[in-house]
Structure 1
């Protein structure tokens, strides 16, 4: 496989800006220009005494850096914002294409598959970050954020083979190392029975191609119904989900009560010791209360 060309810091900054929404990046570009321009055009201090040169040196160096940076930094942010806009349009077009076709998952590239999965989770209310660590060969492709919790996603667009248990096991290990609340493995085909058995009982959800297609169609249908209805103002306590379009969340076990302080217990993943990677119940009042239940949640 060809080695990826090393990018310049300017290109890295564009990629970083493209991950942000354009309505955040453009104001940042304006703020950056105004701030750097004020430094670059500040008057050069006159030195009455050569001994004062050392005290003025940091300010002079900052001014020297601000002269080119006042153009390069805003330019990178603006280019990233434009890339973000076109990326959003591309994802919407790809999402609509898959929603109207049965065979698109097998005909798109692995990069388009990753974009498609990210858009599907974005429409489920997740904040989606593309890690850049994935690819055709593997790695964590997406990081999801929702309600302060982190979830990891690995995408596999393998057209003619079943996804083995090793892929699921590797993601579960990364979840433990990263302290993720849960994880998803999304594929265009099917999982082996061993893979399904390994994920059972864990905060890890396997999504096959048929299920992904159905999720995309339901999301598109829900959006169409929402657009056809008059706009209403809802309070935070009102439900926003539709019964035919259940939200995607990793499977949760019945929540027990802490036997010590009676507070609710939460699922955690052991990060060290002999039980590393295994789930256990921990008191939600930690570190005030350190009570745990080591049995596997069911």
Structure 2
């Protein structure tokens, strides 16, 4: 979607799309389309399809506006997270959205799963450099993340043919959970490491 691109790209796409439909398409048909193409090109050149060009321009610029506002909201949300207490005060949806935006700032392509439906415990799916990483977000303030959840994510990694797993928690992990990840492509993120990750995405 255009709204997922930087807002500047939406502006450029809108202008390019308008010019292509309003002027370029008719010229191509007239030049390369033979007798039939010349007839169609004349029809296009007389402005018959101008409303479509304006509609395309408006749609792209609307998407650019959405992207611009989303970028401002993301920066505001990231700027508010000054400590673990602030993270813990977020509701789980906002916490997951913050993680989504943090990973996007790190250059990942992010697909959400839990907000749009049940994907078996996977909250985010990251794509970068041909690798797939599954993310689970746990906003528990007092409970420790146990080895059962870590094992579940390890199994889902194979089910989704992913390359790695990241589990994010405001709290901490049990000793069993930390021992289980040794030698496995599973990253347990929590505490100050989580805060540093969020702060680093502001840059």
Runs of 5+ unmatched residues, structure 1: 1-15, 46-54, 224-298
Cα pair distance change 1:166/1:25, threshold 3 Å: farther
2:158 to 176, 183, 186: 176
2:19 to 13, 34, 37: 34
Structure 1 residue aligned with 2:79: 96
Question: TM-score normalized by structure 1?
Answer: 0.51
Question: TM-score normalized by structure 2?
Answer: 0.70
Task: Answer whether contact 2:122 2:135 (CA < 8 A) is retained.
Answer: no
Structure 1 residue aligned with 2:168: 186
Cα pair distance change 1:176/1:189, threshold 3 Å: same
| Structure number with higher relative contact order (C-alpha < 8 Å, ≥ 6 residues apart) | 2
1:1-298 equivalence runs, <5 A:
16-38=1-23, 69-98=52-81, 100-123=82-105, 126-135=106-115, 138-145=121-128, 147-217=129-199, 219=200, 223=203
Rounded to whole Å, the distance in 1 between the matches of 2:146 and 2:57 is 46
Cα pair distance change 1:157/1:102, threshold 3 Å: closer
Runs of 4+ displaced beyond 6 Å: 39-42
RMSD in angstroms over aligned alpha carbons?
A: 3.7
Task: Answer whether contact 1:143 1:153 (CA < 8 A) is retained.
Answer: yes
1:207 positional shift = 0.7
Task: Answer whether contact 1:94 1:116 (CA < 8 A) is retained.
Answer: yes
Which one has the bigger helix percentage?
2
Rounded to whole Å, the distance in 2 between the matches of 1:177 and 1:68 is 48
Runs of 5+ unmatched residues, structure 2: 31-35
Rounded to whole Å, the distance in 1 between the matches of 2:198 and 2:24 is 49
